[in-house]
Structure 1
Amino acid sequence: MNIFALEVWDDEGQKCTFYTVRWDDSDENETDRFFDKYDAIPELKTATQQLLSFVLDSVGDDYGAIDALFNRAENEVTGLPNTGRVTVKQILFAYPNFPLRLYALRINNRSDIVVLFNGGIKSAWTNQESKDIHLKWVEACQFAKRIEDALKDGEITIDENKRKIVSTSGDDEIFL
């Protein structure tokens, strides 16, 4: 796998800090690429905005990355939004036939640090059959494995007090 940067995407939520990845030779991170691409498609604009609200409001501010909202396990990553009908504190989260998937990794299964990747249109029953997202899903799984290996090997650690991922080398930027 090529070198990529692990960088903060949004750290203003009350419950969760979001990270993303950016290829070393790219100016735009993978999560922004996802939202920019699908927000520009008129028939997907509403779904894109619903997913952005789910991430920033429901996960970022209201509940964090709790199991109920991260219940769509897809190998090393989780597909967002959640699957099925989930009620959290009297709020129903249901996304039947939702057209988009955004892939994410909860760091050490914590509810307060999530890495968001890319995704796409869910056009078939499985990721393997969905032409638009299959490669993004494989890529997200590879990113997730590399991040988890870096945590296990001590290349990066969690700053518990600041809800932050830090490089053990002391660098401000994290390249994996």
Structure 2
Amino acid sequence: MNIFALEVWDDEGKKCTFYTIRWEDAADNETDKFFNKYDAILELKLATQQLLSFVLDSVGDDHGAIDALFNRPENEVTGLPNTGKVKIQQLLFAYPNFPLRLYALRVNNRNDIVVLFNGGIKSAWTNQESKDIHFKWIEACRFAKRIEEALRDGEIIIDGDNRRMLSAAKDVEILL
């Protein structure tokens, strides 16, 4: 029995293709759930839009999933946005006390394929202490482990020329 599908979330960026997770029989994928939920909260609308711009513009179009922007390792996943002050060319990426965390996986540490999961409000110093994101972080780590296992076992293959992941049968539908 399949538990979740790995599907394209956005493939229009110049530098990076984004995937996401959809639970079996779910209407919305995990990344859309995150952005829809926090965009609807007035106090978090600006932060949500900044994070969406970071993902689509900075990572997707401008720089790709480079180490400098994926510098917040949290076990099997990376927390977005980046931590600290990061200067790339003339741009400074700094998100002090940023209220949201979105979890991501750079597939095989590539700069051009990323899986986005869900996330939440970062309300404490650690993920374990942040009530809103603790479960989402654990869930993202489990998804990441399963995806990495499928890559190692050949259930998922990478078409690097097209920034795509495919099932072993070379189908775009990936069920894990």
Query: How far has the Cα of 1:2 moved from its partner?
Result: 6.5
Which residue matches 1:123? 123
Which residue matches 2:29? 29
Residue correspondence of structure 1 range 129-140 to structure 2 within 5 A: 129-140=129-140
Rounded Cα–Cα distance in structure 2 between residues aligned with 1:123 and 1:114: 25
Query: How far has the Cα of 1:171 moved from its partner?
Result: 3.3
How many equivalent pairs are there?
A: 176
Which residue matches 1:101? 101
| Structure 1 residue ranges, 4+ long, deviating more than 4 angstroms after superposition | none
Are 2:57 and 1:60 aligned? no
Which residue matches 2:71? 71
Rounded Cα–Cα distance in structure 1 between residues aligned with 2:94 and 2:88: 11
Rounded Cα–Cα distance in structure 2 between residues aligned with 1:172 and 1:59: 23
Question: Secondary structure at 1:117's aligned position in 2?
Answer: strand
Question: Secondary structure at 1:161's aligned position in 2?
Answer: helix
Contact 2:6 2:173 survives alignment (8 Å): yes
Task: Please provide the CA RMSD for this pair.
Answer: 1.1
Q: TM-score, normalised by structure 2?
A: 0.98
Q: Which runs of 5+ in 2 are unaligned?
A: none
Which residue matches 2:90? 90
Rounded Cα–Cα distance in structure 1 between residues aligned with 2:170 and 2:101: 34
Q: Deviations over 1:50-82 (max 9, x none)?
A: 000000000000000000000000000000000
Which residue matches 2:166? 166
- The percentage of counterpart residues that share the same residue type is 80
Query: How far has the Cα of 1:172 moved from its partner?
Result: 3.5
Q: Deviations over 1:9-50 (max 9, x none)?
A: 000000000000000120100000000000000000000000
* Amino acid corresponding to residue 71 of structure 1 in structure 2: N
Query: How far has the Cα of 1:169 moved from its partner?
Result: 2.1
* Amino acid corresponding to residue 105 of structure 1 in structure 2: L
Q: Which runs of 5+ in 1 are unaligned?
A: none
Rounded Cα–Cα distance in structure 2 between residues aligned with 1:173 and 1:61: 25
* Amino acid corresponding to residue 131 of structure 2 in structure 1: K
Rounded Cα–Cα distance in structure 1 between residues aligned with 2:125 and 2:170: 44
